[in-house]
């Protein structure tokens, strides 16, 4: 499902950061652990196609995304990859429902209000359909971000420090939801974190 081969990235004027090859099967959940500054986010961005590897390539569902031209990569990402970031960002002029519709529109998938409603209610957010993002609590915002990441049924779900800003309870809930949603679509889930609270939760771990 997800294969990386000899990937490395060199920021301007710095030493290259090299990563060991990763190989994840469909419907498996992974935790990538590492301290701050060891390149966790760089790795995740390269896997998500947000950052081009300086060397090596990333293969997702049989497609070498490192070789895709920009437009096709955007399209591929929209349909096949869902990303949850440490801090959730939304289009501020749109409400929750419209933000999710935007995700469908940008990925080139048909508008589906029913899907939006069912995802939101599975995340206990059914009543927040018409709320503006900045009216939601941190935990709620992170749950909407999860909804947005899974709305298009991606094959790969990436999460970058999804719990670091949350308390224990919210953190546990977010991880549970991520795992449930990933399992529901048989997607590969890869969580990048330095949050030691999650360590025992995942049998598949990659230490950077």
Which residues are near another protein by CB under 8 A?
41-42, 45, 48, 50-51, 70-71, 74-75, 77-79, 83, 85-87, 89-94, 98, 101-108, 111, 148
Shortest distance, position 125 Cβ to another protein, whole Å: 18
Distance CA 165, CA 163 (A): 6
Query: Distance between CA 85 and CA 170 in Å, rounded?
Result: 15
158 vs 202 by CB, closer to another protein:
158
Give the nearer residue to another protein in terms of CB position, either 103 or 119.
103
Token pair in block for residue 77 = 């990402």
Of 31 and 145, which CB lies nearer to another protein in the complex structure?
145
Closest approach, Cβ 42 to another protein, in A, equals 8
Q: Which is nearer to another protein, 113 or 199 (CB)?
A: 113
Q: How far is the CB of 74 from another protein (least distance, A)?
A: 4
Spatial CA neighbour of 51 closest among 41, 61, 59: 41
CB of 107 to another protein, least distance (A): 4
Closer to another protein by CB, 120 or 202: give it. 120
189 beta partners: 29, 157
Q: Among 5, 7, 29, 22, which residue's Cα sits nearest to residue 190?
A: 29
The two tokens of residue 99 are 């933000």
Do residues 29 and 181 touch, judged by C-beta distance below 8 A?
no
| Residues 156 and 63 sit within 8 Å (Cβ to Cβ) | no
User: What are the Cα distances from residue 69, in Å, to 52, 54, 66, 187?
Assistant: 11, 15, 8, 24
Nearer to another protein, 21 or 105 (CB): 105
**Nearest distance from C-beta of residue 15 to another protein, angstroms:** 18
Query: Nearest distance from residue 170's CB to another protein, in Å?
Result: 19
Euclidean distance between CA atoms 146 and 140, whole angstroms: 10
């Amino acid at each position: 499902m997800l294969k990386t081969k000899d990937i490395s990235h060199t920021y301007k004027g710095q030493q290259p950061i090299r990563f060991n090859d990763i190989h994840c099967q469909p419907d498996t959940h992974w935790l990538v652990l590492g301290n701050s500054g060891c390149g966790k986010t760089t790795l995740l961005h390269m896997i998500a196609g947000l950052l081009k590897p300086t060397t090596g390539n990333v293969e997702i569902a049989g497609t070498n995304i490192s070789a895709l031209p920009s437009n096709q990569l955007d399209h591929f990402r929209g349909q096949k990859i869902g990303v949850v970031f440490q801090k959730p960002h939304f289009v501020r002029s749109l409400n929750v429902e419209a933000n999710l519709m935007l995700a469908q529109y940008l990925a080139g998938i048909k508008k589906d209000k029913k899907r939006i409603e069912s995802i939101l209610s599975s995340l206990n957010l059914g009543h927040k359909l018409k709320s503006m993002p900045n009216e939601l609590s941190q935990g709620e915002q992170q749950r909407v971000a999860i909804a947005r990441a899974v709305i298009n049924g991606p094959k790969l779900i990436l999460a970058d420090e999804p719990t670091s800003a949350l308390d224990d309870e919210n953190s546990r809930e977010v991880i549970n939801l991520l795992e449930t949603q990933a399992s529901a679509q048989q997607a590969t889930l890869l969580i990048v974190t330095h949050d030691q609270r999650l360590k025992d939760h995942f049998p598949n771990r990659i230490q950077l």
